[in-house]
A = this chain, B = another copy of it.
């Protein structure tokens, strides 16, 4: 086997580990905890389906690929819960080291391309990145809403924290932010989010 294909398949096999990185979100139907690969798959399809609501036109293929890869660094760095302020302090250093190791498995041209795509997501620097972030917020919101807000209740999350996160959705999609706001208000009224 030539070296290029060998590197590509080594990266593909490495990706498999992302299926073992658990998130705090639970599957609908009060299911088990979701993993990063499932979350990314779900976000990518939602990005395609909902792209008409992006604030600016997005390239569907690029936004899907960005969704699919946006958590790959968590293979090494682990998932950092959006409302865990302590873990968030070390998140960038852990994720930078992971990015270097994992993408370096690829041939140089693909290493550079996918690293740039990952960085673009992290920087919120394009319409695709901003819309992918909207999906990163909306996908767990849908699941948590379907479970009566049980993930927020389990962690004692405050409405203020959730709004700080979901305000990012505004940058990608005003329409989907309005819908997220409607869902969040319902959970504040029900006492699932602390005031």
Cross-interface CB contact of A16 among B15, B16, B27, B60, cutoff 8 Å: B27
Cross-interface CB contact of A12 among B9, B62, B142, B182, cutoff 8 Å: B142
| Nearest-CB residue, chain B, relative to A142 | B13
Cβ–Cβ contact A179 & B143, under 8 A: no
Cβ–Cβ contact B42 & A37, under 8 A: yes
Cβ–Cβ contact B42 & A12, under 8 A: yes
| Nearest-CB residue, chain B, relative to A9 | B142
Q: Is the interface of A mostly helix, strand, loop or mixed?
A: helix
Q: In A14-41, which residues have CB < 8 Å from any B CB?
A: 15-17, 19-20, 27-29, 31, 34-35, 37-38, 40-41
Cβ–Cβ contact A28 & B13, under 8 A: yes
Q: Which 8 A-B pairs have the closest CB atoms?
A: A61-B61, A41-B41, A16-B28, A37-B38, A37-B41, A19-B38, A12-B46, A45-B68
Query: Which residues on B sit within 8 Å (CB–CB) of A139?
Result: 12
Q: How far is the CB of A74 from chain B (nearest CB, A)?
A: 14
**In whole angstroms, what is the CA distance A8 to B46 when docked?**
9
Tell whether A48 pairs with B65 under 8 Å between CB atoms, given A38-B41, A42-B15, A146-B13.
yes
